[in-house]
Amino acid sequence: MGPAMCLLSAACFGAMAIFGKLAYAAGVSPAALLLVRFGLAAAVLMLLLLLRPGLRRGPSPSASAPRPGRATAGVLGTAVGLGAVGYAAQASLYFSALELMDASLLSLVFYTYPLLVTVTAVLLGRDRLTSGRVAALAAACCGTLLVLIGTGGLDFNPLGVLLAFGASITYTVYILVSDTVVHRLPPVVLCALVMTGAAFTLAVRALLTGGVDLGFGVQGWWWLACIAVVSTVVAMLTFFAGLRRTGPSTAAILSTFEPVVTTALAALTLTEFLTPVQLVGGLLVLSSVAVLQARPARAGRRDREPHRTSGQRAVDAPKEPAPYTR
């Protein structure tokens, strides 16, 4: 069930850009989409925490997962700030780009964030740059260039591409900051705080800019509900369920299914098609992400094997960090 949960999560996240395009077609503005998405997601997550008190404590600790630490005021404030600043900014850039470019191209450009995380982690001294990672990053750069230059008949917009890269960069920073609190709060509590922080920021922005138009029809509300429930709440909960069963690296590799789903759904529902050059570039990017995640997975398995010396007990190795989800 673990891999199936991870794939279901990737499919839910992959459908978000399609739901967004359909919401725009139904008369929903980006500001309304963001406010309703985070407000509704926060309400659903808070309701889950109210009905399921056990979720406030998180899963039982195991040998591979540390127990969440005590939730201090600083940790709670950081979690809310992640949503109020990082997630709100990332989502605003993402859905602004979605207005200007095809969903399939946006998905491939945005999915450069795992590569950016790897590079930044190396520069900050949090990770090591091996020959395998250098090759994977070089392939990813070539793949990204192929995606951008092979536009063909796609609706290519330079501003949209810049916004998409901005969303990827912002999400990279969000991930690196999240690393300071992700093991100190139960997953559902952390998600609820992040969603609440993002909803607060977007509500304040709406008040300062004269409000948002919520007068669209039932169809628009339906697509917004799909984004909030399917592509946010269900996507997050199934990811955490899969993560507990598969481990972080396997979950991250399976998450590369996300842009594949977006591209396939865009072709089926929006008649968006990638050119052959872009398909090759997209495969290079996705394979590079898989390689970057697979190498730590193998290293993690070696590290988790007990190390023994004569007359000594087995010593546990360091644990892998958990991946992150949108």
Query: Is pLDDT at 306 greater than 60 in this prediction?
Result: no
Amino acid identity, residue 228?
Answer: A
CA-to-CA distance for 75 and 145, rounded, in angstroms?
39
CA distance 229 to 224: 8
pLDDT at position 94 is 95
What percent of the chain lies above the pLDDT cut of 90?
A: 35
- Residue 134 token pair: 């250098």
Q: Which two tokens stand for residue 103?
A: 């969903």
Q: What is the pLDDT of residue 125?
A: 81
Position with higher pLDDT, 241 vs 37: 37
Count of CB atoms within 10 A of residue 183's CB?
16
Other CB atoms within 10 Å distance of the CB of residue 129: 13
- Residue 315 — pLDDT band, cuts 50, 70, 90? very low
* The pLDDT of residue 308: 42
Give the three-state DSSP class for 307.
strand
Burial of 157 (0-12, 13-18, 19+ CB in 10 A): middle
Tokens of 312: 């000594």
What is the pLDDT at residue 63?
Answer: 46
Higher pLDDT pick, 68 / 230 = 230
pLDDT tens-place string over residues 169-216: 998 888 888 877 877 888 889 889 999 999 999 999 999 998 899 999
Q: Could you list the beta-strand ranges (E) of 125-189.
A: none
**Dihedral sign (CA 324, 113, 265, 261):** negative
Note the pLDDT of residue 310. 38
* Sign of the Cα pseudo-torsion (135, 137, 140, 142, in order): negative
Q: What residues pair up with 307 in beta bridges, in sequence order? A: 315
Per-residue pLDDT, 155? 57
Mean pLDDT over each residue of the chain, to the nearest integer = 80
Indicate the SS3 state at residue 209: coil
Between 24 and 143, where is the model more confident? 24
Residue 58 has pLDDT above 70, yes or no: no
Write the pLDDT tens digit of every residue in 33-56.
999 999 999 999 999 999 988 888
pLDDT of residue 316: 40
pLDDT tens-place string over residues 125-169: 877 777 776 777 777 778 767 776 665 545 568 899 999 999 999
Query: Of 241, 155, 198, whose CA–CA distance to 42 is shortest?
Result: 198
For range 17-25, the mean pLDDT: 96
Q: How many angstroms separate the CA atoms of 166 and 160, rounded?
A: 10
φ, ψ for residue 59, nearest 5 deg: -70, 155
User: For residue range 247-288, what is the model confidence (pLDDT) as tens digits?
Assistant: 665 666 677 788 888 888 888 898 877 778 778 887 887 787
* 15 compared with 317, residue with greater pLDDT: 15
Distance (Å, whole) CA 233 – CA 229: 5
Out of 70-74, 107-111, 215-219, 280-284, give the one with best mean pLDDT. 215-219
Pick from 76-80, 105-109, 321-325 the range whose average pLDDT is largest: 76-80
Q: How far apart are CA 324 and CA 326, in angstroms?
A: 7
Query: Which band of pLDDT confidence, cut at 50, 70 and 90, is reported for residue 296?
Result: low
* Cα Dmax for the chain: 74
